Amino acid sequence: MLELVGSGRKFSNARLINCTENSNGQTLLKGNDEDNNQLEVSHKGLSSDLRPRQRRNSTTHFLNVNERSNAIRAVFHRFLFLVWFAAHLVTMVHENGLPNGDGDHEAPMKYILVTGGVISGVGKGIISSSIGVLLKNNGYKVSAIKIDPYLNIDAGTFSPYEHGEVFVLDDGGEVDLDLGNYERFLSVRLTRDNNITTGKMFQHVTDRERRGDYCGKTVQLIPHFTDAVIQWVERVARIPVDGTLERPDVCIIELGGTIGDIEGMSYLAAFERFQRPALRNNLMNVHVSLVMHPNATGEPKTKPMQNSVRHLRAAGLVPDLLICRSSEPLQEHLRQKIAAFGLVDIEQVIGVHDVSNIYKVPLLLQEQHVLEAIISRLHLKPISDEVRRDLKFNMCHWTHLSELCDSFKEEVVIALVGKYVKINDAYASVNKALTHAAIHSKRAIKIKYVDSELLEEKSEASKEKADAAWETVKSAHGIIVPGGFDKRGVEGMIRTCQYARENNVPFLGVCLGMQCAAIEVARNLLGIKAANSTEFDKNLTEDEQVIIDMPEHNVEHRGLGGTMRLGRRTSVFLTENCTLRKLYGRDEIEERHRHRYEVNPRVVPDLSKKGLLFVGMGVDETTCTVFHKQCRTQSSAALMKLAEDHAPNEDLISKITDLCHRGGDGVTRPALRMEMCEMKDHPYFVGTQFHPEYLSHPLQPSPPFLGLLLAASGQLEAYISGTKTPTPMLSLMEKEFPSLLEKQHPSLLEKPSMSLWRGNY
């Protein structure tokens, strides 16, 4: 019905097409009736409801009320659809990732959170590394993060008696020793950001608050601290760590301490958000706990483990796998009991008992189908057989490596003379490096720990203990003196260096061990009886200062934390005619450092004249603390070129003297650092200022450690001359590996892969 308001005229089923106004002020309406006949109506004085606005052509189009309502309703429906689509898209992104530009979707980052119960030190680090081995050796790219809930910024100021050794990364990060396990097991290079501490996170959050990033809000543990943790994890987890530019598929996160500790509650709250349906497939929780076996009862007890699982659930996390650590293999009825009280399926209960070497732990997990459980739980994309065949290292290789560790019968005894021998973890990387070298030397190794204080001339220990300590040193095939700080026990180390030098016993001094060797030579060969280090005696005369502090690392102005010479740095050999150069096989090397004191360049020429030849040196920049060549200044580059130039028939001592005179103090001019030394006419007397143990790997042992084991077992001369296979373990594996491979994975033999062992790990 169309009605002209004010005129009383009505038209049934008429449709208004347009409305115009003529020069007389009359309004002309045009339309069609129900029979599609044209209608024209002129009227004067239309109400303002129908009067059109004046436009340039005086013409407009009208929609009736129903059409307007339909249009509004359609717009509203479109809006609701867009809201629904956006929500659905967000869910799809969380579950399937974003497109990578090639038509494929980038898979979402997957996380495996490893927690522990009952006791600390239950083996979370080895379990985490072993899970990474399963993933990596089946084609997945893996990264790792360690969360330490203490308030320290990093591990740099820890006593070795507190948390064991301090592991040093390429970028100078001082971190927990578990990151060393990650690097050795997974063949990756991590950074300081891969280690989260509560102190570091508090510092990060408070710095943001001071900058005003929180816009005046009250900063709290939840949500600000927990958000910062998740943001840190998500950022670091995506960084490539295996030498490629490809993002990892899975990040393994180890939460230090035990479930129930107040220090770790905020981290559990942070990861609780992954229990949301949209994120549930992105996080898997592996809970490691101890099945106790008290001697008093004679039977294993699972109640402590049940309680730890209960605490974990109370914190908001659901365990996907329960790793049961025990001294003996886990019996079936215990698995059923743990599954019942832990509210999990029996397939989710994994037993890991004590084994002869840590390289067997991944095999235990593989036998119990842990890899399949991870792939299913995290919805990981299957890896093709072609990719698995191209892997440099797979589980067949790992199986053979674990068997080799127990296959050698001939034993080599190494005496480790140190200050922190009461706790084995204080020298964790040294122990691993010795084990790697022993495998390549085809020898079983026995490490005997000797407290250096017992070897001092004025030792307060009983004569029986001192005699027993010296007997251990004298009965060993080789001696190693590792790093340390402070003067306690140093005199015993110096006497050990003297014994090894005078009796032609293979010797390796690392960091402080090399400094002790230099002090011993200065005292007994140069005749400087009071020779010492300024670390131990601040009142030394200039001639007595064999070891000095580095001015740019002065602790009086910068404190102790993070002020040492840290991280991976370049060293060059001054001559090709030295044992270490032949072991490394190249003129320039990169190793990790952690020291604040160095051998005084002023006494280096005199020490060299007495037979302690400094065959390797490095340069410290005044403006750059990293090891990359492009950061070298013109003056330091000239020093490095002079050091690495090897003229025929050159006089090494003259070259050393010239370089020491050219070096600066490290503040005003680039300084030369004494990195490696060897004793002339000795079977193997080697010192390194760097820590070669940090870069040792099961497939590529550290050259200084390999030299020590070869010398201790009487194989060094044949190795250097080339009459012995350069890679003893690899040659053995190449002989036996094909038959083992054919038995376990015959499909992998379709493409020969023996040459992969010669890669650089």
User: Is the Cβ–Cβ distance between 479 and 417 less than 8 Å?
Assistant: yes
CATH of 411-729, one of 3.40.120.10, 3.40.50.880, 3.40.50.10190, 3.90.1150.10: 3.40.50.880
Tokens of 44: 């004067």
The fraction of the chain above a pLDDT of 70, given in percent, is 77
Classify residue 166 as exposed, middle or buried by CB count within 10 Å of its CB (0-12, 13-18, 19+): buried
- The better pLDDT of the pair 674, 277 is held by 674
The pLDDT score that the predictor gives to residue 372 is: 94
Annotated catalytic residue within 511, 578, 660, 677:
511
User: Is the Cβ–Cβ distance between 436 and 414 less than 8 Å?
Assistant: no
The pLDDT score that the predictor gives to residue 276 is: 84
Q: Is 691 one of the annotated active-site residues of the chain? A: yes
Residues 544-553 pLDDT 10s: 999 998 876 5
Residue 59 has pLDDT above 50, yes or no: no
Residues 193-209 pLDDT 10s: 999 999 999 999 999 99
Distance CA 170, CA 189 (A): 7
The pLDDT score that the predictor gives to residue 410 is: 93
The pLDDT score that the predictor gives to residue 739 is: 45
What's the mean pLDDT in 465-486? 94
Residue 190 has pLDDT above 80, yes or no: yes
Q: Is 693 one of the annotated active-site residues of the chain? A: yes
What's the mean pLDDT in 342-367? 94
The pLDDT score that the predictor gives to residue 101 is: 45
Listed in sequence order, the residues at least 6 apart from 115 whose beta carbon sits closer than 8 Å to its beta carbon are 124, 255, 259, 268, 285, 286, 287, 288, 312, 317
Classify residue 21 as exposed, middle or buried by CB count within 10 Å of its CB (0-12, 13-18, 19+): middle
Burial 197-226, CB ≥16 within 10 A → b, else e: bbebbeebbeeeeeeeeeeeeeeeeeebbb
Distance CA 240, CA 249 (A): 10
Tokens of 254: 């180890």
Residue 710 has pLDDT above 70, yes or no: yes
What separation in angstroms does the CA of 576 have from each of 584, 608, 617? 11, 16, 13
What separation in angstroms does the CA of 741 have from each of 407, 641, 669, 746, 759? 18, 47, 57, 6, 20
What's the mean pLDDT in 69-85? 77
Residues 534-543 pLDDT 10s: 999 999 999 9
The pLDDT score that the predictor gives to residue 31 is: 64
Q: Is 553 one of the annotated active-site residues of the chain? A: no
Residue written as token pair 């069609």 = 32
Least confident span in 380-384, 644-648, 655-659: 644-648
Distance CA 439, CA 700 (A): 10
- The better pLDDT of the pair 742, 276 is held by 276
Distance CA 164, CA 148 (A): 14
The pLDDT score that the predictor gives to residue 45 is: 47
Residue 754 has pLDDT above 50, yes or no: no
What's the mean pLDDT in 508-521? 96
Residue 218 has pLDDT above 60, yes or no: yes
Distance CA 719, CA 7 (A): 117
What's the mean pLDDT in 45-54? 44
The pLDDT score that the predictor gives to residue 735 is: 45
The sign one gets for the Cα dihedral 504, 505, 511, 513 is: negative
Distance CA 608, CA 659 (A): 13
Annotated catalytic residue within 520, 621, 678, 693:
693
User: Is the Cβ–Cβ distance between 660 and 643 less than 8 Å?
Assistant: no
The pLDDT score that the predictor gives to residue 736 is: 45
- Measured torsion, CA atoms of residues 438, 442, 443, 444, in degrees rounded to the nearest 10: 80
What DSSP letter does each residue of 391-452 carry, written as one string? -SS-HHHHHHHHHHHTT--SEEEEEEEES-TTSGGGGHHHHHHHHHHHHHTT-EEEEEEEEG
What separation in angstroms does the CA of 132 have from each of 307, 353, 430, 450? 27, 19, 23, 35
What's the mean pLDDT in 273-300? 88
The pLDDT score that the predictor gives to residue 451 is: 95
Classify residue 649 as exposed, middle or buried by CB count within 10 Å of its CB (0-12, 13-18, 19+): exposed
577: which DSSP letter? S
Listed in sequence order, the residues at least 6 apart from 183 whose beta carbon sits closer than 8 Å to its beta carbon are 189, 190
Residue 246 has pLDDT above 80, yes or no: yes
The pLDDT score that the predictor gives to residue 36 is: 58
- The better pLDDT of the pair 253, 294 is held by 253
Provide the residue count of the chain: 761
Distance CA 632, CA 593 (A): 18
Tokens of 669: 């001019």
Least confident span in 104-118, 157-171, 363-377, 685-699: 104-118
The sign one gets for the Cα dihedral 357, 359, 363, 364 is: positive
732: pLDDT confidence band, cut at 50, 70 and 90?
A: very low
Burial 87-103, CB ≥16 within 10 A → b, else e: eeeeeeebbeeeeeeee
Q: List beta partners, residue 444.
A: 411
What's the mean pLDDT in 94-105? 49
Residues 651-693 pLDDT 10s: 888 888 888 887 665 555 677 889 999 999 999 999 999 999 9
The pLDDT score that the predictor gives to residue 67 is: 65
Distance CA 252, CA 142 (A): 7
319: pLDDT confidence band, cut at 50, 70 and 90?
A: very high
Q: How many CB atoms lie within 10 A of CB 556?
A: 6
561: pLDDT confidence band, cut at 50, 70 and 90?
A: low
Listed in sequence order, the residues at least 6 apart from 392 whose beta carbon sits closer than 8 Å to its beta carbon are 753, 756, 759
The pLDDT score that the predictor gives to residue 68 is: 67
* Mean of pLDDT over the chain: 82
Residue 96 has pLDDT above 70, yes or no: no
Residue written as token pair 């040093």 = 168
Residues 392-432 pLDDT 10s: 677 888 888 888 888 898 999 999 999 999 888 899 999 99
CATH of 110-383, one of 3.90.25.10, 1.10.540.10, 2.40.50.140, 3.40.50.300: 3.40.50.300
User: Is the Cβ–Cβ distance between 345 and 364 less than 8 Å?
Assistant: no
Tokens of 153: 């910024």
